[in-house]
Structure 1
Amino acid sequence: MLAIDFFVHYVQYLASPQILLTIAVLAAPYLLSNFARKRLSTRATSTGVPGCRRLGLYRRSNLKDQYEDQSTTSNKPTIKALFTYPIKSCRGVELAASEVESKGLKFDRMFTFAKWLPKKRSEGSSEISDGDILHEWRFMTLRENPRLALIQTQLWLPDPRTAQDDRLKNKGSSKATKSQAQRRSQGSDLVGQLDKGRSLGPAGTFAENGGCLLVQFPYSPAFNPFGLRNETVTFQVPLTPTETRAEIKKYSKENIVIWKDYPKATNVTNEISPDKLQKLKEFLDVEPPLALFRVDDAHLRSVQRCLPKEKPDHAFRVGFVDAFSVNLLGITSVQAVDESISATSEMKGKLDALRFRANIYITGTPAFAEDSWKKLTLGRRIGRDEKGLFETEGEYHVACRTARCTLPNVDPETGLRDRNEPYAALNKTRKVDEGAYPHPVLGMQMLPMFEHGMIKVGDEVNVLETGEHRYEKMFT
């Protein structure tokens, strides 16, 4: 009876006007900040880029059923999902179809963040004597900075419909009166020009610079009572900048360290305003100078291992990928790894295939069937000869298995690193390649045997040749 009386008294106390008012005052800032954060995120995503259209799938995914049985959905292995990753180690863009170039899926690892760090050169280096310190730009990955997983990317390409509208409008404008022309020259048409993606300055619009990469990340300053200062920071970088824009924005050509390679790349950091760059440094917890680099197509890296026997001296080139052009992975292989995860792990039963950052996810195969593939055709190769354009099957050399580190331990949704899984499960069951030892392996690395092609979700994988693989290490 005493307990009931106490409970009734407690409820009455909480329901008193004074207590309810106090709760409302304390809760209001939190609720308002969450509402504002959602509005900012939605507005930043939906604003768009004048004169451009967004590429890829969003608000839906072909991997939504990845935890269901995938082994018998087709008589042949087929493409389940496609991803390109515009910035190395940041979130990717899911595609329904993709152009393929000799260096990989279009836009894949086109950019990378880099830190300015001291580096000791070994004895005998042609660049600097032993013991001297050289500062250099070194690429960043999820291995050392898991928060890169929270940086979202969007691809916006020039919209041909807008260009057509502009041509029609420009044709009609030739009949404009003198007074209308004067008003335009005075800037009265400024907003209209922006909406149509026309050039408003010497650097040109993004539509005139091959479209743009839109980048977003969540930012919370050190002093942030009730989360009121949370925001979504957004910046944009042109995909194919003109020489004029490069000169105006003061791009620079600098060397950057990608594993053992030291290619020249384009520093496009000036596209990011100083205040947003500072927020990005705080978000990533980076002390040294931070930069954003774009691949320089004139200074690509060479692939020098696991090459086709019939083309041992062929010049296969890549950009900022770790090693090879295209990464392929079977969904059933991911599910098999999931079965090996410790029963005590929270990850058990929900191992996300996106942790492995493949370009091509396939379905309709037994687990690890791709391990023995040596040569395959997929999608279309598009070429030109004396008769004009032609299409044939796109052929790929399956170079080797993908050696795995602890990078997949980073949750792509939260940016948090698990201490053990799935690397522990891989370590137990996937040390199947003597060449990669002591690393486990999962998925396959491929090289396109053509210059231009196309693949799409639903394309069948035709395996032409199978055999044994032995991984050749990058470092000896």
Structure 2
Amino acid sequence: MATFALLQHYIEYITSPTVLLTILLLVGPILYTVRLERSIAARTITPSVIPGCRSLGLTGRSNLSGQHEQHSSSNDGGPHVKALFTYPIKSCRGVELAAAEVESTGLKYDRLLTFAQLVSKPDPGQDKNSSGISEPSEEWQHQWRFITMREHPKLALVRTELWVPDSRGRATNVNGQGDNDLQVPATKPRTRSRTRGSTLIGQLEKGRKASIRPASEDWAAQGGCLMVRFPFEPDFNPLGLRTEEVTIMLPLTPTPERAEAKNYTTEDLSIWKDNPQAVNVTNEIDKLALDNLRYFLGVSNPLALFRVNPQQQRAVTRCLPTDRPKEDFKVGFADAFPVNILGLASVRATDAQLPPNADVKGKLDARRFRANIYVSGIEAFGEDTWKKITVGRRIGRDKDGLYECDAEYHVACRTARCKLPNVDPDTGVKDRNEPYTTLGKTRKVDKGAYPHPCLGMQTIPLFERGMVRVGDAIQVLESGEHYYEKMFD
């Protein structure tokens, strides 16, 4: 009886308001600090070192950091490249670059991979019963279908890092500079004449030779590494203390031996109206990490990761250059065209048109539109009438060897917009209305795209290999009106 009374007295003591307040004041700040540190760690890409590889990407201040500032086109040096982005995994966070190698299918590494979910539906075919009468089939069709931020906005929080082989064995950027010295000087407008023995060609050739490394240096031997990170938070997570950052490492150019060891398979993948055969590389991902990613994204069906199959690239069939009727143009996992260009003044003008009560008013981020090349030095929507441009350098080969000249792009059409830009790239939260609602009121400027609004331009490189840098001048060779050819009838 005495023990019970003592226990009751103890419980009353520790549950008294004074004691509870004391505990809260002492323990609360400690728990908050732990949670804050974990939160910061989950949001920050921790610098990594991968032996034999160098980091390919801009660190520190983004070239879009001053995107909301008004610039006069007459004082901004004419149209030029303000920022460059490549998106290694479709709909995931991109990698900002100071310079990018460009291929006929787009920026190197752009939309190289995509996540997909397995979708099942009844087979529309018919079977015949014992009486010879046709009846609906009881079979099911199973199809891998790509996923995007349209339906899974948290893809915006899946971050990517590119690490490419480096013969020097130390972490540097694409230009061979230190990680904190990544700015590429603005270049002067170049003539269309060809030059030989240039530094640019030498850099590209040196980079390719450096990629050939012994198999013992694992990631270098696999063409480099794509590092993928996302924050995972379980259901029971008091004060956020159990939030962790999950890291996935993927080879950029896997060898045949790795493909066999990891049991890669080739399967049909649905991307809009196309069903190319793509390489299923899901076995590269640890099962627990894949389960956590599926939970994080809110995907209810089986989840897989696919890589572009070079032998099964999708054909570009719309808005083609009329002066090259016999050429075939290809694209990887981008929606329809290889390279997307967007003027920053067009984003600022759209921001100005947003309603005063819009949450994003005054801070509309150009990254929402996921362009590859962001352009400065032009008026709002000035890119709407471009038909053919040059930007950066083309690397070619003839009987005399390698040469370089201005890189030409066919500006195929305007970019028809969906609600994907409603997703905040920093939070992965999708706004119900903006900026899509405002675009729907102000940017239905192409009868072919109706009822979709348009912002930005889709382009096709008219070369096999080239380079573009931040600061490169853009020359408009041809202008005219566009009429969007729809993907679906």
The aligned counterpart of 2:56 is: 55
Q: How does 1:11-410 map to 2 (within 5 A)?
A: 19-39=21-41, 45-72=46-73, 73-119=75-121, 132-162=139-169, 199=215, 205-410=218-423
TM-score (norm 2): 0.83
**1:46 partner SS:** coil
Letter in 2 for 1:281: R
What is the distance in 1 between the residues matched to 2:122 and 2:82?
45
Indicate if the aligned counterparts of 2:146 and 2:269 stay in contact, CA closer than 8 A: yes
Indicate if the aligned counterparts of 2:42 and 2:231 stay in contact, CA closer than 8 A: no
The aligned counterpart of 1:11 is: none
Indicate if the aligned counterparts of 1:70 and 1:365 stay in contact, CA closer than 8 A: no
Please say which of residues 28-37 and 451-460 is displaced more in the overlay: 28-37
What is the distance in 2 between the residues matched to 1:349 and 1:110?
33
Deviation at 1:47, TM superposition (A): 2.6
What is the distance in 2 between the residues matched to 1:378 and 1:333?
19
The aligned counterpart of 1:181 is: none
Deviation at 1:344, TM superposition (A): 1.1
What is the distance in 2 between the residues matched to 1:274 and 1:245?
18
What is the distance in 1 between the residues matched to 2:251 and 2:376?
35
Deviation at 1:117, TM superposition (A): 0.8
Cα 1:122–1:311 change in 2 (3 A) is farther
**2:143 partner SS:** strand
Letter in 2 for 1:33: R
What is the distance in 1 between the residues matched to 2:296 and 2:488?
32
What is the distance in 2 between the residues matched to 1:311 and 1:132?
45
Deviation at 1:36, TM superposition (A): 3.7
Indicate if the aligned counterparts of 2:319 and 2:485 stay in contact, CA closer than 8 A: yes
Indicate if the aligned counterparts of 1:77 and 1:460 stay in contact, CA closer than 8 A: yes
Indicate if the aligned counterparts of 1:116 and 1:135 stay in contact, CA closer than 8 A: yes
- Aligned-pair identity in percent equals 56
**1:90 partner SS:** coil
Cα 1:130–1:451 change in 2 (3 A) is farther
**1:424 partner SS:** helix
Indicate if the aligned counterparts of 1:380 and 1:453 stay in contact, CA closer than 8 A: yes
Indicate if the aligned counterparts of 1:216 and 1:233 stay in contact, CA closer than 8 A: yes
> What number of residue pairs does the alignment pair up?
423
Residue of 417, 441, 445 corresponding to 1:428: 441
Cα 1:130–1:468 change in 2 (3 A) is farther
Indicate if the aligned counterparts of 1:30 and 1:228 stay in contact, CA closer than 8 A: no
Which sections of structure 2, spanning at least 5 residues, go unmatched?
1-16, 127-135, 171-212
Indicate if the aligned counterparts of 1:70 and 1:331 stay in contact, CA closer than 8 A: no
Indicate if the aligned counterparts of 1:51 and 1:198 stay in contact, CA closer than 8 A: no
Letter in 2 for 1:333: S
Q: How does 1:431-446 map to 2 (within 5 A)?
A: 431-446=444-459
What is the distance in 2 between the residues matched to 1:71 and 1:234?
43
What is the distance in 2 between the residues matched to 1:304 and 1:131?
36
Indicate if the aligned counterparts of 1:411 and 1:417 stay in contact, CA closer than 8 A: yes
Which sections of structure 1, spanning at least 5 residues, go unmatched?
1-14, 164-196
What is the distance in 2 between the residues matched to 1:140 and 1:301?
17
Indicate if the aligned counterparts of 2:42 and 2:243 stay in contact, CA closer than 8 A: no
The aligned counterpart of 1:176 is: none
Cα 1:466–1:387 change in 2 (3 A) is same
Cα 1:237–1:397 change in 2 (3 A) is same
Letter in 1 for 2:310: D
The aligned counterpart of 2:198 is: none
The aligned counterpart of 1:7 is: none
Indicate if the aligned counterparts of 1:372 and 1:469 stay in contact, CA closer than 8 A: yes
TM-score (norm 1): 0.85
Alignment RMSD (CA, Å): 2.3
What is the distance in 2 between the residues matched to 1:445 and 1:122?
36
Cα 1:341–1:382 change in 2 (3 A) is same
**2:374 partner SS:** strand
Q: How does 1:409-424 map to 2 (within 5 A)?
A: 409-424=422-437
**1:247 partner SS:** helix
Cα 1:386–1:63 change in 2 (3 A) is same
